[in-house]
Amino acid sequence: MAKLEHYYTRFEENKFYHIYNRAVDRKPMFKNEGNYEFFLKKYDKYLSPVLETHAFCLLRAHFELLVRVPDLTTFKKLSNLNPDHPPHDIISNKFRKFFQSYALAFNKQQNRIGTLFQTPFKRELIEDKNKLKEFIYYIHSTPQLHELKNDFRDWKWSSFKRVLNDRPSKLHKKEVLDLFGGKEEFVNFHSDKQKMLEAELYFLKIRKLDDLSH
């Protein structure tokens, strides 16, 4: 459950945020691969101009992001905005347009009506930069935590494999790899954490079975 402050956190320049949200009815917001692709396409259109994306994961009924708000001076000039226009208002407006664009297309495709995303969307300011690696790993690990994959590294709709490939992308790969110390360290960090995750999930299953037997 989101903490109360995650609903009201305001965006500021040069700061990192963990952003997450789910479908209003907790049902899938992605029904096929085309939905995932369309979501990323619209995200790139609306959010890439005002956010630096460091990690993401799209699951069936929710998504997770790690982003940094850059200096928006150039964006304000190109958009003819007042230099004092609050970054929070700019980014919130972009998210609103992004959600509306995706929801309209999804509803039409699925013969659905009504709101798709919970509001307000959740955002958590990350003030301790030493925790960024933990947040990136957590975001990448969510498919396994939600039992969508036995190994989160096999999940197609996250930034884990995209960070490692050399194809051009709006994803801030270099900054992510520099944070970990390179590709090898990025992979090793995730592998070490993955072993711990498997052990935790194993003991949770054993505990559930033990509870059922009593």
- 157 near 164, Cβ under 8 Å? no
Q: Tell me the domains of the chain and their CATH numbers.
A: 7-212 (3.30.70.1290)
Question: What is the per-residue pLDDT across 81-100, written as a single tens digit (0 to 9) for each?
Answer: 999 999 999 999 999 999 99
- How far, in whole angstroms, is CA 64 from its chain's centroid? 3
Question: What is the per-residue pLDDT across 102-160, written as a single tens digit (0 to 9) for each?
Answer: 999 999 999 999 899 998 899 999 999 889 999 999 999 999 888 899 889 999 999 99
pLDDT of residue 5: 56
CB under 8 Å, gap of 24 or more: what pairs does 27-31 form?
27/61, 28/60, 28/61, 29/60, 29/61, 29/62, 29/63, 29/106, 29/116, 29/117, 30/58, 30/59, 30/60, 30/61, 30/157, 31/109, 31/110
pLDDT of residue 1: 46
Question: What is the per-residue pLDDT across 156-210, written as a single tens digit (0 to 9) for each?
Answer: 999 999 999 988 889 999 999 999 999 999 999 999 888 776 666 555 554 544 4
pLDDT of residue 87: 96
